[in-house]
Structure 1
Amino acid sequence: MAIPIKTPQKIEKMRLAGRLTAEVLDYITPHVRAGITTNELDRLCHDYIVEVQQAIPAPLNYSPPGYPPYPKSICTSLNHQVCHGVPGDRQLKNGDIVNLDVTVIKDGYHGDSSRMFLVGEPSVLARRLCEVTFECLWLGIAQVRGGASLGDIGHAIQQHAEKSGYSVVREFCGHGIGEKFHEEPQVLHYGKPHTGLKLEPGMVFTIEPMINAGKAAIRTMADGWTIVTRDHSLSAQWEHTVLVTESGFEVLTVSAGTRPRPDWIG
């Protein structure tokens, strides 16, 4: 398994792609409100990426083996949708939670990030799920440094999710990223410490835990893309693109509106 090690020049390009990705999420934030459709959110993001950023929305027409071409420019996963939700005519309503997943290509390099959005006044359960999932993301990121193992990341995420009464989706994972949307390694969100690939400075990958309020089982909808919880329980996800450095990590998908890590996570 050849893991690409990014040169300083490539890392600079990934910083730009990552920042642009985060800025799309900043831009769309005030539009995520009751009454808007996920199609409209997609259109707004598409136009911002193409016209303002002079960049490319990576999901549009993306077609990995075994999948039909993805028809939209972002993913919008609502309530019990786990990931890869395809935007449509459904309007957001008070109490919904929705994940917006954005991937921008700029100068041949990808940035990839997602955030959870709360519409109006979601339930205490929904808020707690989103918060714990954000903590899972950052507990995973906090494990990243040269010499650590991929299993350290997955273990930290799994421990916190399960301790909180939730389950970790196992069929989907983080991934290497750079000139390609998906590269090695696969970054599982569960695992055992000190196992798996050893991290080296210059590796870049996403960490993107998908955490379910109920059981971990999932299924695929008829569109071939949208993944939902089998028991119809709520699901949440947060994602960052992360660089392994000599001393630890650098999150590449940051912008003025990026939520900082929780104070209690070192």
Structure 2
Amino acid sequence: MLATLAGLHPIMQAFLATCFTWGVTSLGASAVFLAKDPSRKLLDGMLGFAAGVMIAASYWSLLAPAIAMSEEMGSVAWLPPAIGFLAGGVFLRGLDKILPHLHRGLPRSAAEGPPTELPRSTLFVLAVALHNIPEGLAVGVAFGAVAAGLPSATMAAAVALALGIGLQNFPEGVAVSMPLRRDGLSVGKSFWYGQLSGFVEVISGVLGAALVLVARPILPYALAFAAGAMIFVVIEEAIPETQQGENGDFATLCAMIGFVVMMSLDVGLG
């Protein structure tokens, strides 16, 4: 698989990798055809696992290479990653303010962003799509970094990141489609919205790869930007949602498992 990907243009690599992550989201969303009402414990555990994967990916797949690239380019090792990391958080905060959305388990009145008359289900899907932007961006930037030819960016590491993001997208797909079904949407609509929430990764992945190809010096900033955006999502959304009920300890253990799985993928393959 690595040899096949290596022969493709970086934007095509990012496109195929994010199509894979989108496909895994769709696979998770298809669980709605098998069951209607999963337990809250299962959903919290799945979200915790996804949070653990994102935390590990933020360091091993994004921040560590960003630091190494800064050194290779002759910059202060910590400065570009620090700037990019904070900028990623500010960017997600800005999207939070301008994009109406609703986190899982909250009433319609708790919707964030500008006032809107959009249905509760649409607001929920928008929240998950917002969550997926940094994931697609991270994959795209990782493949774009490989094309730059820096020693710290390898095809194996980019593939490991795509695999890790895809792995955590399966429970995300379940966690989107199942609550929609429980809220009264049809099976078909629940699946459609569930898989659609992952399509944003394809768009952001292609844009991320294209951006670093035309502006190689921003690579350390771009990798750290994706990391900062993902950490913002984890702290602002994923972890708080898993701690709302009685499954906090279980979700925390699942997060630790997700962290170890992503760490093992990155270190083992990268």
**Structure number with higher helix proportion:** 2
Name the structure with the higher strand share.
1
Give TM-score, length-normalised by structure 2.
0.28
